[in-house]
Each structure stands twice: as C-alpha cells, then as structure tokens.
Amino acid sequence: MRDVFVTIVLAAASMFAVHAQRQVAPPVTDPNDPKFITAQTRKMGGPMPPEQLALIFEHLDLAMKVFPDQQRIEATATLRLTTKSKIDTLVLDLFSKFTIAEIDVEGTRMPATAYANPEGQLRITLPAPLAAGKTFEARVVYAGTPPVAKRPPWEGGTTWTKTPDGTKPWIDTSLWGGGCDMLYPCLDHPTLKPATSDLHYTVPAGLMAPGSGALVSREDKDGWTTWNWHARSIHTYGSVLDVGPYKVMEGEYKSRFGNTIPMRFYYLPGEERQAAELFAEFPRTLEFWENVIGPYPWADQKMGVVRVPYSGLENQTMIGYSDQYPKTPFGWDWLLNHEFSHEWFANQLSVANYDDLWLHEGLGSYAQPLIAEYYGGEIDYMAQLKTQRAGIRNEQPLVTGRERSEKEVYADPTGPRGDIYPKGSWVAHTLRQLIGDEAFFKAIRILVYGRPDPKPGNFAPQFGTTQGFLKIVNEVTGQDYKWFFDVYFYRAALPKVIATRHNGVLTLRWQTPDDLPFPMPLDVRIDGKIVTLPMRDGRGDLPAGDHAAVTIDPRSKILMQSDAIDNYQKWTAAQAANARR
Ligand SMILES: [Zn+2]
C-alpha cells in the first residue's frame, strides 16, 4: 500500500517543501454508507468469531463471470477448509449486498433458512456439527455488484470504467481497505489466507483478465474467454480482478540464485512507450531485491504488474500501477519499488495480526533508502531517510501487543497511522546501525524466509510479529534488545538526548518515555574527532571546553527527538492551516 506522504514528497518538485502537509493515509470516510461497504466488510483482521478461528483455509476455487455493461458479477466460490476444533456454524465474510443463489456444504444443499448475511458476515447453520480435524468443502453461488471503490488504493472496491480512449470496458478491483469479502466469501484475517487458489475469470471475448499467480490456460467459448490462474498463499487483500483489452509485455529474469523469473506487464493498447519505460525497471528492481534481501518469493509464478486507473497497489504477483511514473533525483521508480517490497514484506512475510503492520509498511519503506543506497550511494540513502524523518509524528506507539484490525492501525487516530511507514523505516535504520549489517540482514532474512540461507524452493510463506522479530534479533546477536523494542515500538515518544556542559565536561543523558532503560551507544564528534559513548546506564561524560565544536550523532545513526523536526512540523502545520483559512 502506498503512503500519501511518500507520494507527495517524491512527486513534488521540491523535495522538502511540502512533506509535512499530510503524512498519514487519508481517513476512510463513510464506512457505513450502504452504497459502499458496511463496517463489517470494511474491517480486515482484528478479533474474529471463534467459528472462524477454528478453521484452516486449504484452497479457494473462484469462478467468476464478469458482465461489464451491467457492472455485475456471477460467481461460484468453493472453499476447502479444515476444522481445528468442532464447529456447528460456518461463518464466512462476504459483502452483504450480493444475492446468494445456493450454498452447499459437503455436497449438501443448505436450505435458505439455514443462512443469513445481514451485515457482511455470512452465518451458515450446519445440519450437523463438524468435528475437529475434518476437511470439507463449502460452495457459495452468488451474484451482484461488488462495492464501488471510493478512493482507490486507500478505500478499495471495484472501479468500472472505460479505457482512456473511451472505447473498451476497463475494470479494476483493489481490495485494500476492505479485503477479500468485497469480492468473494473468505476469512478476512491475515492468518486465514488460502494456501492455494484457482481463479477462473470469464470475460467477454477480446478482453483479458490478468490474475494473481501463474496463468494455467485460457478457454474461448460462445463469445466469452475464461482466464485460469493458479496461485499460492494469496493475501486476503492481494488478489485482483482486472479486466480490459490488455496487451502483455514479457521477459525473463536470470536470477543470481540460478532460476528464471517470468516478468509480465499487462498494459493498455496505445501505452506501449510508457509500458516499455516501466518494464525496463523490472530487472533493476529485481536485482536490488535479490542482492540485498533474498530470492523473489514468487518466481514459480511471475513478477507481474497491471495498468490500473489509480496510482498503485501491492496486489500479489500483479502489482497495480498507473501510467504515471514520477521522476525523482534518485533514478529508480519509487512506487514500483514500494509496491514490489510487499512481495517480501506482506505477501511472503505476512503479519499474523495487523497490530504489527509496520512489518509490511515500515520494512517496505526502509527498502527505499536501501535501493537508494544500492544505486546511488550514501547521499541517496541519507536523503531518503531525511525525507522520511520529517514525516514521523510519534502520536501513538507503532505496536500495542493487542489483536487489532487494519483500520485501528492504519486509519484510526488511536493507531500509529502514517507512522508505520517512516518510523518503521527509521527504526530499521537505527537497528542496523546498532547491530551491524551482517546481523541486521541475517535477522531480516530469518524473519522473511524463516531461515538465514533462503534459496528458491527451500522456504515457505511466513507469519511475523514484532515480538518474533525481537527473538530473532536476540538469537542472531546473542544480546537482549528488549530495551530497544520497548522504547521504539511500544512507546509513542522518541528518546531524547539531554546535553549539559559544566566545568569543561559535556554530560549526555538519554531521556525516555516512562524512564525506560536505553543503553544506546552514542557518537559525539568533538573538535573533529568522533568518540563513542557506551551510555550503558543511559548517560556519559566527555571533556569539552566551553568553545569546543560538538555534534551529537554526526553519522545520523539514531532515531531520536529533534527540535528541528518538531519546529518544522509545527510551522508546516500552521502554514497549512493558514492556507485553508
Ligand atoms: Zn505499502
């Protein structure tokens, strides 16, 4: 998911002029508007009913026929599920405005009196309880108009439009800010994504329906074409329904790991020039990722991008991208890189609880300084970080340790909102400076792949948590970094350096929220010489005359409170308020 803040900053002609205007994603408006989605359908993750937590989602088979002129779908979803404990009701998430024609469980047709879906949670009373350990199939036949996307990519849904030349249907579904239940019956919790999926999109002949995963086949019959896709472990918001007169740009990437990655760009006719420009970025982006983080997790499927009618979104193996590729002084496409980061930080490594969403967006955002460093060196790395630093608000902690829905984290004032992007990135930067490159990247690889030595075929999708990451960091370093996590993730305010000079001695002390211990080593440049204070008890002294030249943290290693940033944010907020008057 792209961040508005990043968009504004990098799209702006002046890199530092406007970045504090808006650093959080726009609030999700009218969640109860009946034309769109109910609060239940809007919700992704968070506490789930016990009947859903009792399930494992083995396989999704989704056959969907799309009628562009009627802005309507007819679909059959077959879910293969396994019970972890006994259930007597099957609870599936599904947009409540769809008309349900038929539900079968284990091949038995359910009477219409056995199910109801008033608010977006379909409750099916089973004829007999299903015991623990039972694998069964539920089939839902339904039809209707999926909820309309209000402001994709932030407020998702379906967009029914025409190609830019006005001649052909062009349909896109963005599932962020609503999830899978806007399109098909599912379990809208990150831990309940289906292990495998078969997707069959039937569209009028002449149109293409690019999908997540690998293209298995296409079938033409009676003026309709069915596009069949097979995918693994698609995130609950990661599948796509895109329909248009697409053309395909194809290439193969020879990986450093010995495999070949198919590259596919589904673009619109007449946009060949733009498409070629973006397509040229694919191998460069792959090169950075595979060299710095590790193997592309979906090489058996593709690196896929599809042209969509909004900026961009991280659809799994089918990133949505507009035809606007904003240029920056850095020389690589930042939005492609950001959305592509989610193939690692979201799709391969998924949060088990949206409370830890910084693992997707913060590590995804840290990929920007990293690719900047890879292609442009130190100045580009630092420039990216400085821009991100100005957007950190510190209004709420990044993580609470509670089960939270995506909205509570991403959109509510009670959550960290936009901070999951730049603050997550800066915490990663600070951790890297503290533990060193070798330990940092090893910890990231274990977090992402579940092992330090990933190669194609030797890893499976992972679920991550903040506490799990702490455990990995501790194991890799042989130290206990609980103090680091306590301050940066579980407190809103940043640590602050208090510096005092007295009788030729410079005294430095860490001030932390709740006086938490913070033994963060601190570099000080004093008259041109850098000294590292261990700060084991949170303080340190140095000889310094009254006129000594002192710079604290001269290599910008540490995320800490800054008067310059605070004053700048206040000033830009006042400017914005004046402009509204
Ligand atoms: Zn994102």
For the segment 173-222, what is each residue's pLDDT rounded down to a tens digit?
999 989 999 999 999 999 999 999 999 999 999 999 999 999 999 999 99
324: DSSP letter: -
Q: Is the pLDDT of residue 9 over 50?
A: no
Q: Identify the pLDDT of residue 109.
A: 98
Q: Looking at residues 277-283, what average pLDDT do you find?
A: 96
Q: Closest by alpha carbon to 79, among 186, 230, 212?
A: 186
Q: Which residues 6+ apart lie within 8 Å of 513 measured at CB?
A: 487, 491, 492, 493
Tokens matching residue 524: 């000080």
How does the average pLDDT of the chain come out, rounded? 93
- Cα 118 to averaged position of ligand 1 atoms, centre (Å): 32
Q: Identify the pLDDT of residue 323.
A: 87
Place of tokens 């940066």: 488
- Cα 122 to averaged position of ligand 1 atoms, centre (Å): 30
**C-alpha dist (Å) from residue 408 to 66, 399, 424, 527:** 33, 11, 17, 48
* pLDDT tier for residue 1 given thresholds of 50, 70 and 90: low
Place of tokens 């460093």: 373
Strand partners, 79: 60, 138
What CA–CA distance (Å, rounded) separates 572 from 22? 10
Q: Is the pLDDT of residue 79 over 60?
A: yes
- Cα 314 to averaged position of ligand 1 atoms, centre (Å): 7
- Cα 339 to averaged position of ligand 1 atoms, centre (Å): 6
- Cα 338 to averaged position of ligand 1 atoms, centre (Å): 6
Q: Identify the pLDDT of residue 2.
A: 62
For the segment 22-54, what is each residue's pLDDT rounded down to a tens digit?
233 444 445 455 557 888 999 999 999 999 999
Q: Looking at residues 375-402, what average pLDDT do you find?
A: 98
Q: Which residues 6+ apart lie within 8 Å of 56 measured at CB?
A: 81, 82, 83, 84, 192
Q: What percent of the chain is predicted at pLDDT more than 90?
A: 89
- Cα 421 to averaged position of ligand 1 atoms, centre (Å): 8
pTM of this structure: 0.93
What CA–CA distance (Å, rounded) separates 211 from 214? 8
Amino acid at 113: T
Contacts by 4-9 with C-beta closer than 8 Å and gap 24+? 4/154, 4/418, 5/391, 5/418, 5/421, 5/422, 6/334, 6/338, 6/365, 6/368, 6/388, 6/421, 7/311, 7/335, 9/387, 9/391
- Cα 360 to averaged position of ligand 1 atoms, centre (Å): 7
Q: What angle do helix axes 272-279 and 281-292 make, rounded to 10 degrees?
A: 20
